[in-house]
Amino acid sequence: MTMDVFLEQLQMQGTENDALQHDKGEKWLNITPGTGKFLALLVDEIQPTRILEIGTSMGYSTLWLARAGGNSVQVVTIECDETKHQQAQQHFRQAGMDNRIDAKLGDASDWIARFEGQFELIFLDADRSQYLSFAPRLFQLLKPQGLLVVDNALSHADEIAPFKRWLEQQSELDVGVLPIGKGELVAYLRE
């Protein structure tokens, strides 16, 4: 099975699953295919060696990132739900991408406090109420000329607003929202 077919299957399974679930914790909450293509385009352009993703879910977005980066990229992804973490790891193996993905289980705050080195791209798609508490540490982890991308910037604009305001107050950042998928908030860290 090609990677395109596998990603399409994961997208369809996620859509079907989410339509049946009433509990948000049971939903996959995949990014849109358009957002996946956008992330892949960013990865192709900036050619990062390290990507951080906060909010793995079933690994759909992770696979878009790892695939675009080729063998030269390492994607570190964090998921707090053990069932989703296990399922995502299975998806990574099925796609043959598990060697490019370092899947972490646990609270994102704990993990990002421990990381060393920096990332050229950070993708944030998790519990939006935690974003402000992550903010200072995220920008210690982001390399100069790196990008932070935040999903759901239009679909959940009210929830993201405090984080967006914080970003806009940082003099070293260029910040904008793109109408891709459910809205992508992008922050570029100048040198």
**Is the pLDDT reported for residue 28 higher than 80?**
no
Confidence band of 61 (pLDDT split at 50, 70, 90): very high
**pLDDT, averaged across the chain:** 93
**Is the pLDDT reported for residue 1 higher than 80?**
no
Question: What is the distance between the terminal CA atoms of the chain, rounded to a whole angstrom?
Answer: 42
pLDDT digits (tens, 9 = 90+) for 138-185: 999 999 999 999 999 999 999 999 999 999 999 999 999 999 999 999
pLDDT digits (tens, 9 = 90+) for 148-161: 999 999 999 999 99
Class of domain 3-189: alpha beta
The pLDDT assigned to 158 comes to: 97
- For 57, the token pair is 């879910």
The pLDDT assigned to 26 comes to: 82
Between residues 166 and 20, the one the model is more confident about: 166
Confidence band of 88 (pLDDT split at 50, 70, 90): very high
Cβ atoms < 10 Å from Cβ of 82: 10
CA pseudo-torsion sign 164, 116, 37, 30: negative
Please, which residues have CB within 8 angstroms of residue 94's CB and are 6 or more apart in sequence?
Answer: 6
Confidence band of 60 (pLDDT split at 50, 70, 90): very high
E strands, 17-172, are 50-54, 74-79, 101-105, 119-124, 142-151
Q: Dihedral, CA atoms, 95, 99, 105, 107, nearest 10 degrees? A: -110
CA gap 15, 116 in Å, rounded? 36
**Is the pLDDT reported for residue 36 higher than 90?**
yes
Between residues 1 and 13, the one the model is more confident about: 13
Mean pLDDT, rounded, for 55-76: 94
Between residues 22 and 92, the one the model is more confident about: 92
Provide the residue ranges of all domains of the chain, joining segments of one domain with +. Answer: 3-189
